[in-house]
Amino acid sequence: QVQLVESGGGLVQPGGSLRLSCAASGSIFSLFAWGWYRQAPGKQRELVASITLSGRTNYADSVKGRFTISRDNAKNTMYLQMNSLKPEDTAVYFCNAPSRVGGPFDWGQGTQVTVSS
28: three-class secondary structure by DSSP: coil
Percent of the chain's residues with pLDDT above 90:
85
Mean pLDDT estimate for the chain: 95
d(CA 7, CA 43): 21
pLDDT in tens, 11-35: 999 999 999 999 998 888 888 999 9
pLDDT score for 27: 83
Kindly state the average pLDDT of the residues 99-103: 91
Give the model's pLDDT for residue 73. Answer: 86
What backbone torsions phi and psi does residue 75 show, to the nearest 5 degrees? -100, 0
- How much is the pLDDT for 30? 84
Can you say whether residue 62 is alpha, beta or left, with left for phi > 0 and alpha for psi between -120 and 50 degrees?
alpha
- Looking at residue 1, its pLDDT comes to 82
Higher pLDDT residue, 29 or 90? 90
pLDDT band at 72 (very low <50, low <70, confident <90, very high): very high
Mean pLDDT of 66-86: 95
Average pLDDT (73-99) is 96
Estimate to the nearest angstrom the gap between the alpha carbon of 83 and the chain centroid. 13
